Amino acid sequence: MNTASAYLTVSGIDVDVVYKHIKNLHIAVYPPLGRVRVAAPERFDDDTVRLAIVQRLPWIKKQREQLRSATRQSEREMVTGESHYVWGQRYRLKVVNEPGKIRLEVSGNKLTMHAPADSTAEKRRAAMEQWHRDALKQAIPGLVTKWEPMVGRQVSKWTVRRMKTKWGSCNRESAHVWFNLELAKKNPNSLEYIVVHEMTHLLERHHNDRFTDLMDGFLPDWRARRDELNNSPLASEEWANGIAG
């Protein structure tokens, strides 16, 4: 008997499946990281949907690559007026030229970068990235400590890194968890969702009914958090809205 929804992994790609009263199957790929969503007729079972996804894998991979290309093409100039996100909030960047090490601070609706006048955009981007990395490294330990007793597993090690197609990942054998650096730009609820998601994988490898049931028990609003994260702006969208007039 089909359920109203399913959570599949096909060739390493996570897929949300919703069964509806429709005639044909529809596949869509969404920003920012290429989330795949399938609307399938109620008469289909998971295996039928999985086969349809496999048949469309070349198209799906092409769409995901286009999304990644859009992100790569939106590299910032790191100048006053650009829009940047910090913990889900949008800030206007203000660059203040002063000697010394590049540093950043948030005040009101402004994100201020203190940087030497001759510092390159590359050095400013590196400083911004490190600032985001530090923010995540401050936020993650408390969340891991909070959820370890509830999940019933301990995280042996966690790492922040750039990731092209996933918000997080884990190794069940070593209990090592990785977090996408971009999470520092998203709502803190999104980071907690990823923490719980990856820790749940320490109990269940696959996105099956057991995984869904565990997530429902740990974090009942996880679907809303997931959708908010997956619908958050791409870097290219931030850039398009970024320069003050």
What 3-state class would DSSP assign to 76? coil
Please provide residue 160's backbone torsions phi and psi, each rounded to the nearest 5 degrees. Answer: -100, 130
Among residues 18, 51, 72, the one where a domain terminates is 72
Phi then psi for residue 70, to 5 deg, are: -60, -40
Is 245 a member of any domain? Answer: no
Same domain? 148 vs 52: no
Domain that holds residue 197: 83-239
- Residue that is last in its domain, among 46, 72, 98: 72
pLDDT band at 4 (very low <50, low <70, confident <90, very high): low
> pLDDT per residue over 117-140, tens digit each?
999 999 999 999 999 999 999 999
Q: Cβ neighbours of residue 45 under 8 Å, at least 6 residues apart? A: 2
Co-location of 9 and 97 in the same domain: no
| pLDDT for the residue numbered 205 | 87
Q: Which residues contact 88 (CB under 8 A, 6 or more apart)?
A: 185, 186, 187, 188, 190, 232
Q: Answer yes or no: is 78 within a domain.
A: no
Average pLDDT over all residues of the chain? 88
| Same domain assignment for residues 149 and 93 | yes
CATH of the domain at 135: 3.30.2010.10
Task: Assess whether 222 and 165 both reside in one domain.
Answer: yes
Does one domain contain both 54 and 138? no
Residue 228 has pLDDT above 80, yes or no: yes
How many Å separate Cα 128 from the centre of its chain?
18
Domain match, 63 and 176 both: no
Q: How confident is the model over 172-213, as pLDDT tens digits?
A: 999 999 999 999 999 999 999 999 999 999 999 888 889 999
Cα pseudo-dihedral 30, 171, 138, 135, rounded to 10:
-30
Decide which of 72, 95, 118 is a domain's last residue.
Answer: 72
